[in-house]
Structure 1
Amino acid sequence: MTADKETLAAYAAKLDDYVRVTEDLADDPQLAAFIAALPKGAHALDLGCGPGWAAAQMAAAGLTVTATDASPEMVDHANSIAGVTAHVAAFDDITEENAYDGIWAHFSLLHAPRDAMPRHLAALRRALKPGGLFHIGMKTGVGAHRDALGRHYTYYTDEELHELLTDAGFTPFSSHTGTDKGLAGTMDPWITIAAHG
């Protein structure tokens, strides 16, 4: 399955705006905690890396980082950052087994169709080393729709997401919730969950 064309077009058109929005995330405490929890020199996957802000922080901390995104424009920008190597890949392209000490899926899987989420999570669990660290960020709510920019979103409740993770073989151990203004200008509730593989 390929990524949604309208969503990719929106990211291509708004690349510069998205880079500016993510500049404020350089000191994200959840990313800092993710990095600190991984062993020295660990191999991490930044799934849906966008312009590469998280991959840059991981690389600066000494991690080996594989960064992927379905948007060629985002990948080009990520590759312009020192220490970051990114490549174009959709969620279904993640086929490794026991490859990563940590997987950072920060507000990327929210673009996947609902019926594909169990498959994607199962593949990510296989790609994670036993006991590895998984981070997922999602907007919360019900149903699915396109935002003002045309990006497709699938929403989950806290309970649904925890159940999906458990069914895929993850063990969630902490979560955070909040509300922030995104690229489309709306205030949206969200949840992040940390889990072990």
Structure 2
Amino acid sequence: MTGDKRAIRDGYDAIVDEYLAHRTSEHADRPHLDWLCDRLADGARVLDAGCGAGVPVAERLADDHDVVGIDLSREQLRRAREDIEQAGFVQGDMSALGFADDSFDAICALFSLIHVPLDEHARVAAAFHRVLRPGGLAVATVGGDEGWNGNNPDWLETGVEMRWSFPDTETSARQFADAGFEIRETRSIEDSTFELLFAENREN
């Protein structure tokens, strides 16, 4: 595990309650889940990539769908298992998904892909393509026009360091397209520098 990933894992381990409160009170990304929910058949298998404590994806989808969450942080996963018993949660790295080909009908990566080291973003897009069935859907938070690679030493005023790495939106869209996705649309997230990318998996 790289130093960046270790710092991200340890940071999220340290601020479980603070981050969950932040995600619970932050509604900017929730309306965009409607795009996915409107297109999923009941019982669809969904991967929540970088699930944290399961909010908002697993929390919303687990009653009607087969949701699996994956995250680096053991403590975030512990909280997710306590609060969302209908879903399954495993510790892992989204750049090296240990799932069979065509395992999922959809993937959500909300505010998680933006933590992945820059040189691994294309690898993550390829991993998403591999585990999604043809026609499967992906929703991911991606960087805005600028892109960024840096850290905040006092994130959420917790005294905990957090790191981010993401290219600009155009580069992210190109990486997904190169991996085998058709980009359906991108949307700005209100009061945020990030965007949501919506994509459909083409034939493997």
TM-score, normalising length: structure 1: 0.88
Identity within the alignment, %: 27
Question: C-alpha distance in 2, partners of 1:17/1:45?
Answer: 24
Q: Following TM superposition, by how much is the alpha carbon of 1:92 offset from its aligned partner in structure 2, in angstroms?
A: 3.3
SS at match of 2:102: coil
Identify if the C-alpha distance between structure 1 residues 142 and 175 changes in structure 2 by more than 3 Å, giving closer, same or farther.
closer
Question: C-alpha distance in 2, partners of 1:56/1:178?
Answer: 20
Question: C-alpha distance in 1, partners of 2:53/2:171?
Answer: 29
Q: Identify the range of structure 1 (63-72 vs 156-165) with the bigger mean alpha-carbon deviation.
A: 156-165
Aligned to 1:32: 34
Question: C-alpha distance in 1, partners of 2:71/2:193?
Answer: 23
Q: AA paired with 2:62?
A: A
SS at match of 2:198: strand
Question: C-alpha distance in 2, partners of 1:4/1:151?
Answer: 10
Question: Of 72, 81, 86, which aligns to 1:83?
Answer: 86
SS at match of 1:41: coil
SS at match of 1:90: coil
Q: Following TM superposition, by how much is the alpha carbon of 1:25 offset from its aligned partner in structure 2, in angstroms?
A: 5.1
CA contact (8 A) 2:147 2:169 kept: no
Aligned to 1:145: 150
Question: Of 40, 43, 47, which aligns to 1:41?
Answer: 43
Question: Of 62, 72, 94, which aligns to 1:70?
Answer: 72
RMSD: 1.8
CA contact (8 A) 1:56 1:82 kept: no
Q: AA paired with 2:105?
A: D
**Residue 158 of structure 2 corresponds to residue 156 of structure 1:** no
CA contact (8 A) 2:147 2:166 kept: yes
Q: Identify the range of structure 1 (71-80 vs 145-154) with the bigger mean alpha-carbon deviation.
A: 145-154
**Residue 175 of structure 2 corresponds to residue 178 of structure 1:** no
Question: C-alpha distance in 1, partners of 2:103/2:162?
Answer: 30
Q: How does 1:95-106 map to 2 (within 5 A)?
A: 95=98, 96-106=100-110
Q: Following TM superposition, by how much is the alpha carbon of 1:55 offset from its aligned partner in structure 2, in angstroms?
A: 0.6
Question: C-alpha distance in 1, partners of 2:169/2:139?
Answer: 14
Q: AA paired with 2:123?
A: R
Aligned to 1:13: 14
SS at match of 2:62: helix
Q: AA paired with 1:144?
A: N
SS at match of 1:18: helix
Question: C-alpha distance in 2, partners of 1:116/1:159?
Answer: 16
Q: Following TM superposition, by how much is the alpha carbon of 1:6 offset from its aligned partner in structure 2, in angstroms?
A: 1.3
Q: Which runs of 5+ in 1 are unaligned?
A: 181-187
SS at match of 1:132: strand
Question: C-alpha distance in 2, partners of 1:155/1:56?
Answer: 26
Q: Which runs of 5+ in 2 are unaligned?
A: 156-160
TM-score, normalising length: structure 2: 0.86
